Amino acid sequence: MYILTFLFGLFHQTLAFNNFSVDALAAHFSEALSPGSQVWLPSSANYTFAITQRWTVYPPAEPTYILALKPALPSDIQTIIEFASLHNIPFMATGGGHGYSTTLHSCKNGIDIDLGFFHDINIDEEASTITIGGSVKFGELIKPLFDFGKEIQTGLAECVGAVGATLGAGLGPYTGLHGLVIDALLEVKYVTGTGELITASKTENSELFWGARGAGHQFGVVYEATYRIHDATNNGELVVATMRFHSSDNASLWEIMKDIGINQPREMSLAFQVNWNDEFGGLNIIINAKWVGPMEGALIAFSPFLSLNPIQKSITEMSWTSIYGSSVPGGGSFSCDRGAKSSNWAVNLYTISIPAFTHTLQKLARFYSDFPSSRTSVWSIEKFANSVTLSTPDDETAYPWRNTTIYTFVDLQINDDS
């Protein structure tokens, strides 16, 4: 769930550009790249506006760059990678900027290949496909598809790069209906680590296509991807319920989630968030439940939670185009703000242990008490029906965790006292 199209070149802890000064590198690429490309130094005016900034700047997960390049053409990406590889300069490609790994700091004094100019969206209504560039974000897919009466499974946050999230699997509120985002993927176009242009699909470079779906970040920079799209479910309408509970209700909420189990309706997605809110007495549990269908079915599906009398609730019918405005409020660190010091720790679960969930909540409560400045930290729990996900054979893609029933992560905000 943690989303960026990236490729490491060679990893070096010291300056890797050998006999080249930064100015010399900038001059070289200004001449070597096509006229529509851009070369940026971190010290340049407007750098933070022109170049995609990372969601988290937590040091272990933050690469550092001496230069940012915005290629205009696939051949420009080739030129950058070939030169960087030849001269042992580390590099990484940035799509949406939300990819997270505690190894990203290994890219020191490298080149940022910003895919911002690979931003096209093309829909083929007759073929029911959509082709997008490597920097397109999930939120940018919604309205164009809606206008064609179509939809696609997307991620939970509008600001995450669609291609980067896809390569890891891709999870979101329509996973129950259509499966993982990789299950919609039909074709990817790569520039490999040696600078080779390669197209991968079920019929072309099929082994690479197998690996791309689940481990796609390992093989190169994906600058374009094509997906299968679906007719809009329920005429593009859904029901969204947001319910806030005191933390004292936690055991009952975990019990309901456990009872839903593997029989969760395909139309329903659940996103729990444990966070701190002074206005509502401190530690809260918020549930954002979505039902892709009429209100009548939603009220039945949500009734176990509603029976606990949440301290705050809203239930709304809305268009799919508004789905990203309906996410959990008070989300703190996993919003689309850039530059937070966020440290993420995620786990896939296959069963629900109520004592373990309760113990985790108690530990988070102590953390909030001991480190008040980190109360923007959150614990997120996501649950989707996985019958469609499981219908894809396990050996069809490289993604190995199709039988996951709960996706959970703690997003810690690392501040001065923590």
Boundaries of domain holding 79: 22-114
Instruction: Give the pLDDT of residue 182.
Output: 98
> Strands 110-114 and 65-70, how do they pair?
parallel
Which residues does residue 111 pair with via DSSP β-bridges, in sequence order? Answer: 67, 91
Whether pTM > 0.85 for this model: the answer is: yes
pLDDT at 58: 78
pLDDT, position 328: 56
Residues 128 and 86 in one domain: no
Q: Say if residue 29 is exposed, middle or buried (CB neighbours under 10 Å; 0-12, 13-18, 19+).
A: buried
- Cβ(118)–Cβ(77) below 8 Å: no
What is the total count of domains within the chain?
3
Same domain, 163 and 269: no
Q: Which amino acid is at 277?
A: N
| Sequential DSSP letters for 358-396 | HHHHHHHHHHHHH-GGGTT-EEEEEEE--HHHHHS-GGG
**Ramachandran angles phi, psi of 272, nearest 5°:** -95, 150
Q: What is the pLDDT of residue 97?
A: 86
Say how many C-beta atoms besides its own lie within 10 A of residue 197's C-beta: 14
Rounded CA separation 401/383 (Å): 14
Displacement of CA 345 from its chain's centroid (Å):
14
Q: Are residues 323 and 393 in the same domain?
A: yes
- Last residue within a domain, chosen from 205, 231, 257: 231
Query: Does 363 reside within a domain?
Result: yes
| Model pLDDT, residue 326 | 65
End position of a domain, from candidates 188, 213, 231 = 231
In the chain (418 residues long), the average pLDDT of successive 10-residue segments reads 37 47 95 97 92 84 92 98 94 89 86 98 98 97 97 92 95 96 98 95 98 95 98 98 97 96 94 94 96 98 98 96 72 61 89 95 94 91 96 95 95 70
Alpha-helical regions (H) of 263-353: 295-306
DSSP symbol at 133 = E
Which positions ≥6 away from 4 have C-beta within 8 Å? 94, 95, 96, 97, 98, 99, 100, 161, 164, 217
pLDDT of residue 265: 97
The answer to whether 16 and 88 have CB atoms below 8 angstroms apart is yes
Q: Looking at the domain assignment, is residue 4 inside a domain?
A: no
Specify the pLDDT at position 103: 83
Q: Are residues 250 and 373 in the same domain?
A: yes
